[in-house]
Structure 1
Amino acid sequence: MATDDLMSKALTALDEVDGPMSVEVIHRLVDVSAAADPMTIREVADLLDMSPHTLRYYERIGLVEVGRDASGHRSYDAEAVRRLVFLTRMRLSGMAIRDLQHYVRLADEGDDTVPERLDLLLEHRDTIRRQLKELTLSLAATEYKIATYGGHTGPSSAGKA
């Protein structure tokens, strides 16, 4: 399942939510059964629509720990895949690598760091909310221009040329 598939699944799950986002929705986004057996770097790269180079980079800078099989090849377990899904969501939302490294270090230190992790995520949430407002304004300006040129605006016009 590539990142586009994960995003489609996420958006569908959001449409099914009546009320605020819940942890259960997030858990449904990662089909852990897909990673029940160890996965190769190629399988994980395909699943997350990432390059093997990026996966090796994330490992090298300490964002994810990856085991090795008997031949010495990388072997991604379900925990590593879940972490990578989280990392890709955070990167997509603009979280800096250094902030992710700090978050991962804190997570690896255990429950005593929960307050600091919470602060980091609350700050990032505020950033995302600001970005959403900015994007909403940009969408409104774009739709205004489309209407100015006689085009149709709204969700049903997406994908039509």
Structure 2
Amino acid sequence: MEMSDRRMEANKELSISQVAKYTGLSPHALRFYEREGLLLSAQVMRGDRGHRRYSQSDVEWLDICIKLRASGMPLAQIKRFAELVRRGQGNEQQRLEILREHQRRVVAQMDQLKDCLDLINWKVGVYEEHLKQGTAQHLWTGSDSDDAPSDA
């Protein structure tokens, strides 16, 4: 669900199943995030019957956590970042350092992936050309033969 759809319910408390639907995380993963201290509140709110109730800010924070995790940030760093945010003002420089370190890692990963994509694009071109020319049977087959083309 889009963020704008979630904002319509900004003042409404959400159930774990609603948050799971919005974030794409399973209820099990949401409970895990809570146990690991990855959420901004020390404890998730509870309804009259003891069921978890999430606020709009909880969902927005989870969106951040999901993106950080998807980009490869270790859970320990997300937890450290969340701890610093929970503490409030005065540690912004530490938070920035965590984000900058992760930013450097992501940029390095993107550079590496760009190199991989360049190779893949080249190989696709080689195969397309050989198939077009009817010479695909001469592409490398994994044998140690001396006649294996270097562009396979």
TM-score, normalised by the number of residues in structure 2: 0.77
Q: Does 1:124 align with 2:99?
A: no
Taking the aligned partners of 2:109 and 2:9, their CA distance within structure 1 comes to: 32
Unaligned 5+ runs, structure 2? 130-152
Residues 131, 69 of structure 1: alpha-carbon distance in 2 compared, 3 angstrom cutoff? same
* Aligned residue number for residue 80 of structure 1: 58
* Aligned residue number for residue 21 of structure 1: none
Deviation at 1:56, TM superposition (A): 0.2
Deviation at 1:144, TM superposition (A): 1.1
* Aligned residue number for residue 20 of structure 1: none
Q: Secondary structure at the match of 2:128?
A: coil
Taking the aligned partners of 1:61 and 1:116, their CA distance within structure 2 comes to: 20
User: What amino acid maps onto 2:86 in structure 1?
Assistant: D
Unaligned 5+ runs, structure 1? 7-29, 152-161
* Aligned residue number for residue 99 of structure 1: 77
Deviation at 1:34, TM superposition (A): 4.6
Taking the aligned partners of 1:54 and 1:148, their CA distance within structure 2 comes to: 44
Taking the aligned partners of 1:34 and 1:131, their CA distance within structure 2 comes to: 36
User: What amino acid maps onto 2:111 in structure 1?
Assistant: K
The correspondence of residues 1-161 of structure 1 with structure 2, limited to 5 A, is 1=1, 30-31=3-4, 32-36=6-10, 37-64=12-39, 65=41, 66-150=44-128
CA contact (8 A) 1:35 1:81 kept: no
Q: Secondary structure at the match of 2:50?
A: coil
The structure whose Rg is larger is 2
Higher helix proportion (structure 1 or 2): 1
Q: Render the CA deviation track for 1:54-92: whole Å, top value 9, x for unaligned.
A: 100000111113211111111110110011000000000
Q: Percent identity?
A: 31
Q: Secondary structure at the match of 1:47?
A: helix
Residues 35, 123 of structure 1: alpha-carbon distance in 2 compared, 3 angstrom cutoff? farther
Residues 35, 86 of structure 1: alpha-carbon distance in 2 compared, 3 angstrom cutoff? farther
Root-mean-square deviation (Å): 1.5
CA contact (8 A) 1:35 1:77 kept: no
Residues 86, 34 of structure 1: alpha-carbon distance in 2 compared, 3 angstrom cutoff? farther
User: What amino acid maps onto 1:105 in structure 2?
Assistant: E
Taking the aligned partners of 1:103 and 1:35, their CA distance within structure 2 comes to: 27
Taking the aligned partners of 1:142 and 1:45, their CA distance within structure 2 comes to: 36
